[in-house]
Amino acid sequence: MVRAIMKEHFGIDAEVLKNSQQIELALRLLAVLREEALREKAETGAPSYRDAAQKARREQKRRQRLVSLLREHRGNVSEVARVMEKARNQIVRWMRRYEIDPDAFRGV
């Protein structure tokens, strides 16, 4: 689990950590960051590190589904909205957020 966190959030491949001192330092860094996140959440009510990671995964899944449906429906935004049971305007907002151009799917 530590290796996954290191890789995903810090871009550090645990395999390149050569010695136990580097590993220990990395673990301390993770502990400090976790404590700071928990303290900040308690003080401000801000989302925790875990909440942010979950949100990022949801966003990624939504983008993947949107791209898949746009491909399936050849860029027809109205059809995608019907399938997702969302307003067409919401689909357009998501496409802007994820920088997706529906025209790229119309010739596929």
Give me the pLDDT at residue 14, please: 58
Rounded to the nearest 10 degrees, how much is the dihedral formed by the CA atoms of 83, 89, 91, 97? -170
Better pLDDT: 7 or 70: 70
Nearest in space to 67 (alpha carbons), one of 94, 40, 86: 94
User: What whole-number distance in Å separates Cα of residue 23 and Cα of residue 16?
Assistant: 10
Q: What is the per-residue pLDDT for 12?
A: 58
The tens digit of pLDDT for each residue in 17-36 reads 556 666 676 777 778 778 88
Residue 53: is its pLDDT beyond 60?
yes
Average pLDDT on 60-67 reads 92
What average pLDDT does the structure give for the chain?
80
Mean pLDDT of the 87-91 span = 96
Q: What is residue 77's predicted lDDT score, i.e. its pLDDT?
A: 96
Kindly tell me if the per-residue pLDDT of 85 is higher than 60. yes
The pTM of this model reads 0.54
Give the residue-averaged pLDDT of 58-66. Answer: 92
Cα–Cα distance measured from residue 54 to residue 99, given in angstroms and rounded to the nearest whole number? 21
More confident residue, 20 or 73: 73
